[in-house]
Every structure is written in C-alpha cells, then in structure tokens.
C-alpha cells in the first residue's frame, strides 16, 4: 500500500488506518483472518482506544495477531485515552499514565507508536498533559502524540505546554458529513454552509503539518448509518456507482478515494470488520480521482457551490 508521512513524525505509514473498534464482534478465527488479511494488503496501521469494549478490543487484537516482538516491529499501533465511562473525560496526568499502561498490557507491547487524546476534556490542565507526555516519551512507552476531535484553539492551548509535536487529529469526515470542507467554500456567504463550526480545523492542520485521520468515512450524521447503498442518498450513490464502474472498482473504493484525493494528505480510519470491504478500501490507495470527479461526488451528496 502507498505510504505517507504521519504529521511531523519520522513514521512512514500506510495511507489507510485499520480501525479496531468492532473487532470483538468477530470470532477468534475471524479476527485472525481479518488482521492477517490487513497486513497482507499493506494496511499495517491499527487504531485502538482504551474505551472500545472497555479494553476488550485491544486484547482481542493482540490475541488475533499473536503479538510478539517480531510481529510488533511489522505494525504500527495507535491508541486513544481520555474517555471514562460514567465520568466523561479525563486528561489528568494520573489517568493518562494509567490508561497507557492498561493499553500496553492489553496489546502485549512495550510501546505505542501514537497516543491520541480522545475528545476534548473541559477540565483539561495542559500542564498535566505535558508532564504525562514527557514521562511517556522518556520511558519509551509512547513515541508520538496527537489528539482527536479537537479544534485549533484547543490544540494551541496544548501546544503552549506540550513539548512534543502533535502529529495527528482524528476527526469525523465523509462525503456525507463534510462540513469542514464545505465551510471553506462558503467564505463570506450568508447561507448555512458558511457557518464555521470547527475553527477552520482543516486549514489549521494543513498549516501545522498535523495529519487528519477521518473517522466514520462511510457514515452520515453521528453514527446514523452508512450512506453507501442507502436509499436516502440516491443521487450520491448513482454518481459513486457511475465512477466506480469507470475504474472497475467498488463503491467503497471510490468513497475512500474521495477522501484520499484531498491534498491535505489524510489518513482515513476504516471501521469495517469485513475482509472484502477492507480490501476494497485498500484499493483506493492506487486511485486518484480527477478534480471533476471529486466535485461531482461532492455536489451529488447535496452540497452546493456558492
């Protein structure tokens, strides 16, 4: 699979990340096949979070990949922390350090390639985050750091204290949920798409060399469903199917290729546990949509141009 540089880090990673949030739905043989198929396809960057099935997803993954030192060096592991069920969010030094130790134990590894802070914490004390990151980098438990679902000012606040570069920001983005793109096209307009809902996070990340990792790349709304094959999106699906036929690939491949075509050099995070769908996602790394095709899909999703 084609690779890319992750933010300002030294990591050269696959352009598509494999999300493991649903891996506990698979049997052990199914999980083993899924992970092995991912690796064979070059999709060796696996995204986790301590909150996914209360850590069971990390455990299931480690068992499925038969984690050992030789296997570990062939893959990239990213996990997230900061969400505490029943409490909400916690970016305290103590919680970050404990969360990382828990993830390392479950993943059967000594280090994470990337740790992301999972959604903003209203009570964040960035000095504590900085202390935690320095400890984790110093003892080798985490090599790179980033955030998830944060806007420019929240990132700037962290950067005031955190010494390490923030290499990634995981954000919701898909063809059917593309406000971070549409607001940039409606500057100085008075229509609904002109509302700046995230502080121009797309441009901010590009300026600061922070890799955007789109999550739910096939969803619309907040986990309302998949837009592919959905009767609610007849025009969009007709256009995607038309372009998919042109390239001889599936609609999944074209939907993923739409994200990869953006010059921000994003790293979408898949959510599928289907080997077939994952391989379709991987094929998108070899397709570059034309400018005309990209805009045709954008408009077919119901977006408008000023």
Those residues of the chain that have pLDDT short of 50 are none
**Strand, helix or coil for residue 270:** strand
For residue 17, the model assigns a pLDDT of 98
User: pLDDT for 268-284, tens place per residue?
Assistant: 999 999 999 999 999 99
Q: Is the pTM of this model over 0.95?
A: yes
The separation between the first and the last C-alpha atoms of the chain, rounded to the nearest angstrom, is 37
Instruction: Using CA atoms of 59, 105, 91, 88 in order, give the dihedral in degrees to the nearest 10.
Output: 30
**What is the C-alpha separation between 199 and 204, in angstroms, rounded?**
8
Q: Among 150, 164, 286, 155, which Cα is nearest to 213's?
A: 150
For residue 224, the model assigns a pLDDT of 87
Task: Enumerate the domain spans of the chain.
Answer: 3-226+264-287
For residue 221, the model assigns a pLDDT of 87
For residue 106, the model assigns a pLDDT of 98
Class of 3-226+264-287 per CATH? Answer: alpha beta
User: pLDDT for 177-223, tens place per residue?
Assistant: 999 999 999 999 999 999 999 999 999 999 999 999 999 999 998 88
Question: How would DSSP label each residue in 281-297?
Answer: HHHGGG----HHHHHHH
């Amino acid at each position: 699979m084609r690779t890319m540089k992750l933010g300002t880090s030294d990591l050269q990673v696959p352009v598509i990340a494999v999300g493991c949030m649903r891996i506990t739905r698979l049997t052990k043989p199914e999980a083993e096949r899924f992970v092995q198929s991912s690796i064979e396809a070059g999709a060796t960057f696996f995204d986790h979070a301590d909150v996914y099935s209360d850590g069971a997803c990390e455990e299931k993954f480690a068992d499925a990949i038969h984690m050992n030192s030789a296997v570990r060096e062939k893959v990239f592991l990213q996990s997230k922390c900061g969400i505490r069920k029943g409490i909400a969010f916690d970016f305290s030094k103590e919680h970050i350090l404990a969360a990382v130790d828990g993830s390392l134990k479950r993943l059967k590894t000594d280090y994470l390639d990337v740790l992301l802070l999972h959604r903003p914490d209203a009570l964040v004390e960035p000095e504590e985050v900085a202390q935690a990151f320095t400890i984790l980098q110093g003892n080798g438990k985490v090599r790179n750091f980033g955030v998830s679902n944060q806007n420019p000012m929240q990132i700037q606040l962290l950067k005031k204290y955190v010494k390490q570069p923030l290499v990634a920001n995981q954000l919701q983005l898909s063809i059917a949920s593309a406000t971070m793109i549409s607001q940039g096209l409606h500057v100085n307009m008075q229509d609904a798409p002109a509302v700046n809902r995230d502080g121009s996070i797309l441009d901010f990340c590009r300026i600061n060399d922070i890799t955007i990792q789109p999550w739910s790349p096939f969803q619309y709304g907040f986990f309302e469903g998949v837009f592919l094959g959905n009767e609610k999106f007849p025009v969009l699906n007709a256009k995607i199917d038309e372009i998919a036929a042109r390239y001889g690939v599936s609609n999944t491949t074209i939907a993923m290729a739409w994200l990869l075509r953006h010059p921000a050099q994003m790293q979408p995070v898949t959510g599928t546990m289907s080997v077939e769908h994952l391989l379709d996602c991987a094929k998108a790394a070899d397709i570059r949509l034309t400018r005309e095709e990209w805009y045709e899909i954008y408009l077919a999703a119901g977006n408008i141009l000023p």
